[in-house]
Amino acid sequence: MADIITSKETLVQTLKQAGTMPAPREVLMATPKHFSVDYVINPHMEGNIGTVDKSKARWQWEVIRDKFRNLGFRVHEMEGESGFPDMVFTANQSLPYIDPKGHKHAVMSIMHADQRKEEVPYFEQWYRRHGYEVHYLDSEKIPDFEGMGDAIWHFKKKILWGGYGYRSSRRAYEIISDTFQVPVVLLELIHPAFYHLDTCFCTLNEESVLIYPPAFTRDGLELIHSAFSTVIEAPEMEALELFACNACCPDGKNVIIQKGCNEVNKALKQHGFAFHEVDTGEFLKSGGSVFCMKLMLW
Ligand code: ARG
C-alpha cells in the first residue's frame, strides 16, 4: 500500500522506523556536446536561446565530472544526443533505487515538456545494459514525473522526498511508494522559478538540509523542519540567480556548489561541511546547475 506522508506526526514516526539505504557511490553524466538553450520551458531559459558557449559548457562540465572523481565516485559518461539539448540534465529522466537485497531498480520519467520526452529511452537503454530492473509509470494515469529533479532520497534512509506542482504529479508518488515499498514525503512547490524540488531543497546529511523557504507552503516548511535539525536557508540572490540549492552533497560532507554562494558557503562551513565551488554559468542559462547535471547511483 502507498505510504504518503503529509503530516508532521507521521513523518517523525516514519523517520524513527525507516530502514537504511547505502549512500550512492556512482554518478551518471551525459556529455554536453549537444547542450544548448533552444526553447523556453522554465523562467530561467527566457532570453537565453542561442547564447550557450559550447566550449565553455564542455569545460564547466568536465570540472564537475572531475570533482566527483576526485571525491572518489565512479563517473559513467553517456554521449549527449543531437536534438536533445537538455539531455545533459541527467537527474530528470529517471529515479534509481537500491532495494534491501542490493538489487538495482529505476523508474522511468514521463517528462512534462514534449521537447524532452524522447530523452527517456536513452536512459532506459543505459539501465538495461547495467543490470537494472526498469519500471514504468502509466502515462494514461500520470501526466508527468521528472525523476530526481523532484524525487530526492533522504541521505542514507529509505525515505523519498517528493516535490510536485510544476513537473511532477502527486499521483506518481503513490505508484512509486507502492512499487518500492518506500514512504514518500510530499512537498508542494509554489514558486515558478523553483520548478523542481532540486532547485530549492538540497539534502546534506541525515539531519541537515539546504532550502529556499519561499518555494514551499507553510505545511511543507513544517515537514522539513520536523525532519531536519539543521535547516540552512539560502538568501534570494544565491537561490534564484546562482541556484545555491541545486548544489550536491554526495557523501554527507562535501558540497559541490555554483561559485559565489557566499552566504550559503559560510553557513555550510559553520555546520562542518566542506564546499567546492564550480562554475555552471552556461547551464544556469537553462535553469540547471550541479545537482541536475548528474544522477547518483549505487
Ligand atoms: N532546461 C531544463 C528543463 O527545464 C533544465 C532542467 C534542470 N534540471 C533540474 N533538475 N533542475 O527541463
Please indicate whether residue 42, judged by its CB atom, sits closer than 6 Å to ligand 1.
yes
Please indicate whether residue 149, judged by its CB atom, sits closer than 6 Å to ligand 1.
yes
Q: What are phi and psi of 93, to 5 degrees?
A: -85, -5
Residue 174 to residues 8, 46, 149, Cα–Cα distance (Å): 18, 33, 17
The answer for 19, left when phi > 0, alpha when psi is -120 to 50, beta otherwise, is beta
For a ligand 1 pocket test, name from 286, 289, 290 the mutation site with the most ligand atoms within 8 angstroms of its C-beta.
286
Separation CA 176–CA 254 (nearest Å): 29
Please indicate whether residue 168, judged by its CB atom, sits closer than 6 Å to ligand 1.
no
Extract the C-alpha cell encoding 56.
565553455
Over residues 119-173, the pLDDT tens digits come to 999 999 999 999 999 999 999 999 999 999 999 999 999 999 999 999 999 999 9
In order of their start, the domains of the chain are 3-297 (3.75.10.10)
- Residue 1 in this model has a pLDDT that exceeds 90: no
Separation CA 152–CA 29 (nearest Å): 17
Separation CA 284–CA 278 (nearest Å): 12
- Residue 60 in this model has a pLDDT that exceeds 90: yes
Ligand 1 center to 245 CA (angstroms): 13
Separation CA 3–CA 181 (nearest Å): 8
Residue 24 to residues 64, 156, 249, 272, 277, Cα–Cα distance (Å): 17, 9, 11, 21, 21
Residue labelled with grid coordinates 517523525: 12
Over residues 221-267, the pLDDT tens digits come to 999 999 999 999 999 999 999 999 999 999 999 999 999 999 999 99
Instruction: Tell me the mean pLDDT in the region 192-204.
Output: 98
- Residue 19 in this model has a pLDDT that exceeds 90: yes
